[in-house]
Structure 1
Amino acid sequence: MRLSSTARAVLATVTTLVLAVIYLPLGVVLVNSFSTSTTLTWPPPGFTLEWWGRAFRNVGALEAIGTSVQIALGATAISLVLGTLVAIALQRYRFFGRDVVSLLVILPIALPGIVTGIALNNFFRTIIDVRLGIFTIIVAHATFCIVTVFNNVIARLRRTGTSLEEASADLGAGIWTTFRLVTFPQLRSALLAGGLLAFALSFDEIIVTTFTAGSGVTTLPIWIFENLFRPNQAPIVSVIAVMLVAVSVVPIWLAQRLAGADQAQH
Structure 2
Amino acid sequence: MRLSRLSRTVLGVVTGLILLAVYLPLFVVLVNSFSTSTSLTWPPPGFTLEWWGKAFQSAGALEAVGTSVGIAIVATLISLVLGTLISLALQRFEFFGREAISLLIILPIALPGIITGIALNNFFRTILGVPLSIWTVVIAHATFCIVTVFNNVIARLRRTGTNLEEASADLGAGVWTTFRLVTFPQLRSALLAGALLAFALSFDEIIVTTFTAGSGVTTLPIYILNNMFRPNQAPVVSVIAVVLVIVSIVPIYLAQRLSGSEQTRR
TM-score under structure 2 normalisation? 1.00
* Structure-2 separation of matches of 1:262 and 1:247: 23
1:82 corresponds to = 82
1:55 corresponds to = 55
User: Displacement of 1:155 after TM fit?
Assistant: 0.4
Which secondary structure state, in structure 2, belongs to the residue aligned with residue 192 of structure 1? helix
* Structure-1 separation of matches of 2:252 and 2:162: 29
User: Displacement of 1:131 after TM fit?
Assistant: 1.4
* Structure-2 separation of matches of 1:76 and 1:167: 32
Which secondary structure state, in structure 2, belongs to the residue aligned with residue 230 of structure 1? coil
Q: Deviations over 1:105-149 (max 9, x none)?
A: 000000010000000001101111111111000000000000000
* Structure-1 separation of matches of 2:191 and 2:71: 19
Which secondary structure state, in structure 1, belongs to the residue aligned with residue 121 of structure 2? helix
Amino acid in the other structure paired with 1:114: I
Q: Deviations over 1:178-202 (max 9, x none)?
A: 0011000000000000000000000
Gaps of 5+ in 1: none
1:210 corresponds to = 210
2:171 corresponds to = 171
The number of residue pairs the alignment matches comes to: 266
* Structure-2 separation of matches of 1:222 and 1:179: 41
Identical residues among aligned pairs (%): 78
1:95 aligns with 2:95: yes
1:221 corresponds to = 221
* Structure-2 separation of matches of 1:44 and 1:156: 49
User: Displacement of 1:214 after TM fit?
Assistant: 1.5
* Structure-1 separation of matches of 2:167 and 2:36: 66
* Structure-2 separation of matches of 1:215 and 1:5: 58
Amino acid in the other structure paired with 1:265: R
Which secondary structure state, in structure 1, belongs to the residue aligned with residue 47 of structure 2? coil
Which secondary structure state, in structure 2, belongs to the residue aligned with residue 48 of structure 1? coil
* Structure-1 separation of matches of 2:164 and 2:213: 45
Gaps of 5+ in 2: none
1:117 corresponds to = 117
Amino acid in the other structure paired with 2:101: V
1:259 corresponds to = 259
* Structure-2 separation of matches of 1:120 and 1:14: 40
1:161 corresponds to = 161
* Structure-1 separation of matches of 2:128 and 2:43: 52
Amino acid in the other structure paired with 2:239: V
1:148 corresponds to = 148
User: Displacement of 1:15 after TM fit?
Assistant: 0.1
Which secondary structure state, in structure 1, belongs to the residue aligned with residue 214 of structure 2? coil
Moved over 3 A (4+): none
Amino acid in the other structure paired with 1:67: T
2:244 corresponds to = 244
* Structure-1 separation of matches of 2:176 and 2:133: 36
Q: State how 1:129-140 maps to structure 2 within 5 Å.
A: 129-140=129-140
Q: State how 1:18-33 maps to structure 2 within 5 Å.
A: 18-33=18-33
User: Displacement of 1:34 after TM fit?
Assistant: 0.1
Amino acid in the other structure paired with 1:245: V
User: Displacement of 1:52 after TM fit?
Assistant: 0.2
1:39 corresponds to = 39
* Structure-2 separation of matches of 1:249 and 1:29: 16
